Chain A
Amino acid sequence: MVQASPADPHDSAALTARIEKRWALMVVSIVALLVAMVIFTGLHWAMMPPSRVETADPTTLHVSGEFVESNLGSSVEADGSVTVRMIGQQYSFTPQCIVVPAQTPITFRATSADVVHGMLITGTNINSMIEPGYISTFKTEFDKPGNHLMPCHEFCGVGHEAMWANVKVVDKGTFSKMAADTRRLTCDL
């Protein structure tokens, strides 16, 4: 405990300094622990934010390349994983309704045709910015079938409040039946 009126000022100065040092050490340990947790989850759960920088011209997305309208949606890759391609634009995502299988590695690729958008999928930790000029790529996996909302979470203009999409997670069997007919799947009406 602190001595408010010390007999010898030098002793008390040394005492306060010692207590402070102990506290400072504790603070540094707390910070080190936090950083260690971040490193641990990064190493063992392979959780990383989107990390590759890749550019795309927002004015020509609809003309050529992987973001043409007919190439958007979910596609099954050779290794069994699923790639979902989508774009954000004022004021909708295309596709508006994304369908993916549960318990399957999913790679999202998304970009914007005009301004900065963002997306999150409720009930999951999927969350990314979608920026014109850049492609956001991120990997995830859904545990179980279910329906999720996918709002745009970055202000993108006066229609922003209406920019909501849906994600439908179906079981693997249902998905492969759906995927038998078509190379790019969506649940758009």
Chain B
Amino acid sequence: MNDKRSRLVSLRNPWFTTSVGATLALFLFSAFVGFIWLPSAQDDALFKGLLNAICGAAGIPRTWLSETNPPVAPKVPLSTVILTPEMLSGPGMRESVGRGATLALRCTMCHGARGVSAANTPNLAGQYSPSIYKELRDFQTGARTSAIMAPMVVGLSDQDLRDLSIYYASLPREPSPGADDASPALGIVATGSPMRNIAPCGSCHGSLANKLGAPWLSPQPRAYLKSQLEAFANGTRHNDVSGQMRNVARHMTQDEINASVDYYAEKR
């Protein structure tokens, strides 16, 4: 067996020399063309010089155009919250709930004693914690404007906002009358309108999928949902990250806004 193997891998074996030689030649040829010849023919400052050509073609990371033209700064404050899946998990959740419960005393006037609102303010009980946290931060930075909420969050630390979010997320969510179970979504809610870039509501807000930072919507007060959707549509609310909600809302007709608000609103 051994001497057979040595006969296979041997310079005297034409099969070995031809196959290895041809493969090597093919690789060297394609490497020469791909790493040196083609990049050198590109009209691009980055590719000038042999080393640059090779490094660029090999895919060594480098910044390129970003610094030539300084970015245009936003005219109004935009959301600066960084959303990651594990942002509000980890040890100390129980302590957070306790501290959050104390802090939440100031919220009960509008959002109810247990996070279920009697007024036209959003229900918070059982809402996803990253969604609550994001809005609280945006009220603080002014990315989301509200004459009522702005003074409420002044002076709260980042940890306070986290505690509040975790506390409200821990409360039992009010049973939903529609969206997530029985009544099937129809029309704009179910299918959106692809050519107008309106995705089904449920592809971010539950029932189909949950997008990090997007809240569930059912049940929420009708007036609240309507005012917010309209504010996204006309751009007065602009704290959605990179316009993801404005992109949807601005193409919706008034009838579609009403229909989707009806679908998600409380139906008691």
A–B direct contact (CB < 8 Å): yes
- The answer to whether A70 touches B60 (Cβ under 8 A) is no
Q: Is B66 an interface residue (CB 8 A)?
A: yes
Tell me if A162 and B61 are in contact (CB < 8 A): no
Residues of A within 8 A of B211 (CB): 90, 114
Chain A interface SS verdict (over half): loop
Select from chain A the residue with minimum beta-carbon distance to B38: A42
- Bound Cα distance A189, B247 (Å): 9
Count B-side interface residues using an 8 Å CB cutoff: 53
Residues of B within 8 A of A109 (CB): 65-66
Q: CA separation between A160 and B242, bound complex, in Å? A: 18
Flag if A42 contacts B41 (CB, 8 Å). yes
**Complex CA distance for A48 and B209, rounded to whole angstroms:** 37
Structural contact, A48 and B195, CB atoms closer than 8 A: no
Please, how many angstroms separate the alpha-carbon atoms of A114 and B211 in the complex? 10
Minimum CB distance partner of A44 in chain B: B41
Q: Assess whether A83 is interfacial by the CB under 8 Å rule.
A: yes
Contact A77:B197 (CB < 8 A) given known A70-B74, A90-B244, A189-B250: no
Interface string of A75-88 (1 = CB under 8 A from B): 10100000100010
Query: Among the listed stretches B153-161, B199-207, B223-231, which one makes contact with chain A, having 4 or more residues with CB under 8 Å of it?
Result: B199-207
- A163 and B247 CA atoms in complex are apart in Å by 11
Q: Mark the stretch among B75-83, B111-119, B165-173 that contacts chain A.
A: B75-83
Within 8 Å CB of A43, what residues of B? 37-38, 41
A46 to B37: give the CA distance in the assembly, Å: 12
In the assembled complex, how far is the CB of residue A134 from the closest CB belonging to chain B, in whole angstroms? 9
Q: Is there a chain B Cβ closer than 8 Å to A128's Cβ? A: no
A120→B141 CA distance, assembly (Å): 37
> Is the pair B71, A63 in contact by a Cβ cutoff of 8 Å?
no
From A42, A59, A107, A159, contact of B65 by CB (8 A): A107
Q: Is the CB of A70 within 8 A of B192?
A: no
Q: In the assembled complex, how far is the CB of residue B17 from the closest CB belonging to chain A, in whole angstroms?
A: 18
List residues of A (35-54) whose CB comes within 8 Å of B's CBs.
Answer: 39, 42-43, 46, 48, 51-54
Interface size class on chain A is 35 or more
CA distance A61 to B202 in the complex (A): 25
B37, B63, B65, B195 pick with most chain A CB within 10 angstroms: B65
**A70–B73 CB distance below 8 A:** yes
Query: Do the beta carbons of B64 and A69 come within 8 Å of each other?
Result: no
User: Knowing A90-B211, A159-B192 touch, does A63 contact B82 (C-beta < 8 A)?
Assistant: yes
Q: In the complex, which residues of chain A have a beta carbon less than 8 angstroms from the beta carbon of B198?
A: 162
The reply to whether B197 and A158 contact each other, CB–CB distance below 8 Å, is: no
Task: Contact check, B82 vs A60: say whether CB atoms are below 8 A apart.
Answer: yes
**Contact, CB under 8 Å: A89 / B244:** yes
Is B248 part of the binding interface, using a Cβ–Cβ cutoff of 8 Å? yes
Residues of chain A lying within 8 A (CB to CB) of residue B247: 92, 94, 96, 188
Q: B63, B78, B200: which contacts A162 (Cβ < 8 A)?
A: B200
How distant is the Cα of A52 from the Cα of B39 in the complex, in angstroms?
11
B2 within 8 A of A: no
Q: How far is the CB of B176 from the nearest CB of chain A, in Å?
A: 19
Contacts of A62 in B (CB 8 A): 78-80, 241-242
Given the known A-B contacts A91-B199, A94-B244, are A52 and B41 also in contact in the complex, defined by CB atoms under 8 Å?
no
Given A77-B68, A159-B199, do A39 and B33 touch, yes or no (CB 8 Å)? Answer: yes
Knowing that A67-B242, A75-B69, A113-B241 are A-B contacts, what are 8 other residue pairs whose CB atoms are under 8 Å apart, sorted by A's residue number? A42-B41, A54-B62, A69-B78, A77-B69, A90-B204, A90-B211, A114-B211, A159-B199
Can you list 28 A-B contacts (CB < 8 A)?
A39-B33, A42-B41, A48-B38, A52-B62, A53-B62, A59-B82, A62-B241, A67-B242, A70-B71, A71-B71, A77-B68, A83-B65, A83-B69, A90-B199, A91-B197, A91-B203, A92-B247, A94-B242, A94-B247, A114-B211, A158-B200, A158-B202, A158-B203, A159-B199, A159-B204, A159-B209, A162-B203, A163-B199
Question: Residues on A close to B: CB < 8 A?
Answer: 39, 42-43, 46, 48, 51-55, 59-63, 65-72, 75, 77, 83, 87, 89-92, 94, 96, 107, 109, 113-114, 135, 137, 157-159, 161-165, 183-184, 188-189
